[in-house]
Amino acid sequence: MKSRSQAIVTTIILSAILVLLNLVMDQVNLFFDLTEEKRFSFSESTDEVLDLIEEPIYIRVLLKGEFPAGFERLEEATNNLLAQFQSKNSNVEYKFENPSEGKPDEINARYQTLSEMGIFPTNLTVYEETESSKQLIFPYAIINKGKKTGVINLLKSNEIGETEDQTLNKSIALLEYKFTDQLYKLSKSNKPNVVLIDGRGELPPPQTASIENQLGQLYDFGRIHLDSIVQLSQEIDLVIVARPTEAYSDRDKLILDQYVMNGGKVIWIVEKFEANVFAIDSFGTYVPRVWEHNLDDLFFTYGVRYKSNLVLDLQCSKVPQVVGVQGGKPQTSMFPWFYHPIITGSPNHPTTNNISQVNLTFPSEIELLSKENLVQTKLLTTSPNSRYQIYPMDLTFDIVKLGENPSKFNKGKLPVAVMQKGAFSSHFVNRLSQQQEQTLASLGMPFKKTSAPTKQIWISDANIIANLYNPSKNRISAVGYNQWEQKTYEGNAEFILNCIDFMVDKINVMEARNKDVKLRLLDRGKVIKQKLRWQLINMVLPLLVLALFGLGYNLYRKRKFT
């Protein structure tokens, strides 16, 4: 009787402990990252950003519903990430919702509101063995912090030759960076100052309107005319020089040089030649004009040289060409246009890791010169199947007759965008006039021969930042829009925005872009072919093992006790 009472008491105590433990664990999120690539471990910058959040942030994830397995992985990965965010900082609140739920009027009103925020659905094709159906999906997250709002596209655009699973895998790899980056920008009290230089024939506002609209939400963005200033303030976090077409004077270069010497950062988007398809179409053959921007000597001092060539690549976009006439109307076909290379991002740097393809127009090769105290990085390079034409070159559509012959495209990977960081030497050492030195001293900016640690980026094609502009309709295109193929290369905007973020990022949020998630996929063909076999193994085999065990155990008991 006593042992029975003890057993009851022990059972009650154990049950109470289990219930209490269950209640506690229900309120605590514990994560143990046992993956090879540490996919569930935060970067140091992510931890820093989460520590900055001191007031509630509300996240609405529009990814809820019945999805194919790949999108379920994206939904689950997003949920796991936000659960980790919340366990790190309770000010992060989130919920998942389905925009397509409710009455038709409610759904239409919701769709309209989302479209006004730049959120548009993806038309997903769902395959179920021999049948398929269409489904609208909104792979977005909306973050609200006070009066500030940020939108995140969770789904990376699909590239040519890339499977849906590969695209989703890259999307999952970028989740931490996208959320961390947006939280960081919304949490900062002061916006970084980004300035476009004006006054020397640079890209006009209508051609940078698209990128300015994107930057305007999170940066204090503006333009400065060189003739209106005597120095660039160090309160400017980043200066962008976008396709100058007129000569920079020594005064202009001194202003920029001393800005760099005092730790300023510059993105140089400078083209070597005035080259475009329309000129070839008008004249048949065309020798491009050299842009006399007078910056080559400044670049040489900093360790960069633009070569006098145009790069051609077998991996390129296409342009239409007339191939015949039918019914009095010209018939056109699309041909590879080697002067418009398609660049695939490199995983070796956060500005290019997991970005979509970049489409450039008439870029030139950039050479990095050996310089001490500088870390040099090639950000964008052509494919291994590339070549170049040295100036002066005749541009003509006859180049398409060259054909896609790899033996003629044998110059290897050619850099078209590079970065340097470290201590730069001033271009005006032993060149500064006494008057210039006195002017600097009067401004309280004594001449500096060597810079504080800083960064500079050079890009050889302005198409990376420019949008098309239709003055008759006052319409602008997206950055990276290809009017001949009528598609947008999203990598153009991704790359330039990543470069800007990288230059002004004070806690290295870009570090999170280096996360890589290895793809471990099932062979779909084998799954379909061997489906019945594995169903039988999983469902029948365990029952058969149990039956054999039971039979053997009964036989054992009979032989032992009979």
- Tens-place pLDDT, residues 68-109: 777 888 888 899 989 988 888 888 999 998 888 888 888 888
Lowest model confidence (mean pLDDT) among 34-43, 337-346, 432-441, 454-463: 34-43
Of 135, 163, 186, which marks where a domain is finished?
186
Report whether 495 contacts 358 (CB < 8 A).
Answer: yes
- Tens-place pLDDT, residues 45-78: 888 888 888 888 999 998 887 777 778 888 888 9
Q: Are residues 384 and 450 in the same domain?
A: yes
pLDDT at position 481, please? 93
% the chain with pLDDT above 90 = 39
Rounded CA separation 326/94 (Å): 59
Of 492, 514, 536, which marks where a domain is finished?
514
pLDDT category of residue 551 using cuts at 50, 70 and 90: confident
Q: Are residues 349 and 322 in the same domain?
A: yes
Q: Are residues 337 and 291 in the same domain?
A: yes
Does any domain span residue 298? yes
pLDDT category of residue 543 using cuts at 50, 70 and 90: confident
Q: What angle do CA 543, 545, 551 make, to 5 degrees?
A: 100
For 299, other C-beta atoms within 10 Å of its C-beta total 19
Tokens at 420, concatenated: 């340097």
Q: Are residues 4 and 79 in the same domain?
A: no
Q: Are residues 368 and 457 in the same domain?
A: yes
Q: Are residues 355 and 236 in the same domain?
A: yes
- Tens-place pLDDT, residues 253-302: 999 999 999 999 999 999 999 998 888 888 888 899 999 999 999 999 99
Across all residues in the chain, what is the average pLDDT? 85
Lowest model confidence (mean pLDDT) among 59-73, 157-171, 519-533, 534-548: 519-533
Does any domain span residue 169? yes
Rounded CA separation 373/391 (Å): 33
Q: Are residues 428 and 505 in the same domain?
A: yes
Q: At what angle do helices 44-52 and 69-88 cross, to 10 degrees?
A: 60
pLDDT at position 33, please? 56
pLDDT category of residue 387 using cuts at 50, 70 and 90: very high
- Tens-place pLDDT, residues 499-509: 999 998 777 77
Query: Mean of the pLDDT values across residues 522-547?
Result: 77
Q: Are residues 249 and 284 in the same domain?
A: yes
Cis, peptide link before residue 392, omega less than 30° from 0: yes
Does any domain span residue 357? yes
Rounded CA separation 242/205 (Å): 11
Rounded CA separation 180/514 (Å): 13
pLDDT category of residue 182 using cuts at 50, 70 and 90: confident
- Tens-place pLDDT, residues 313-325: 999 999 988 777 7
Q: Are residues 479 and 408 in the same domain?
A: yes
pLDDT at position 40, please? 60
Report whether 167 contacts 159 (CB < 8 A).
Answer: yes
Does any domain span residue 519? no
Does any domain span residue 219? yes
Q: What is the four-CA torsion angle of 461, 465, 468, 474, rounded to 10 degrees?
A: -150
Domain harbouring 141, CATH code: 3.40.30.10
Of 144, 164, 186, which marks where a domain is finished?
186
Rounded CA separation 219/221 (Å): 6
DSSP state of 412: -
Read off the pTM: 0.78
Q: Are residues 222 and 365 in the same domain?
A: yes
Q: Which domain holds residue 539?
A: 524-561
The more confidently predicted of residues 2 and 476 is: 476
Q: Are residues 327 and 472 in the same domain?
A: yes
Does any domain span residue 4? yes
Q: Are residues 493 and 535 in the same domain?
A: no
DSSP 329-386: EEEEEEEEEEEEEEEPPPTTSTTTTTPPPEE-SS---EEEPP-TTEEEEEEEE--SSE
Q: How many domains does the chain have?
A: 4
Report whether 365 contacts 388 (CB < 8 A).
Answer: yes
Does any domain span residue 431? yes
Q: Is the pLDDT of residue 308 over 60?
A: yes
pLDDT at position 32, please? 58
pLDDT category of residue 492 using cuts at 50, 70 and 90: very high
Does any domain span residue 325? yes
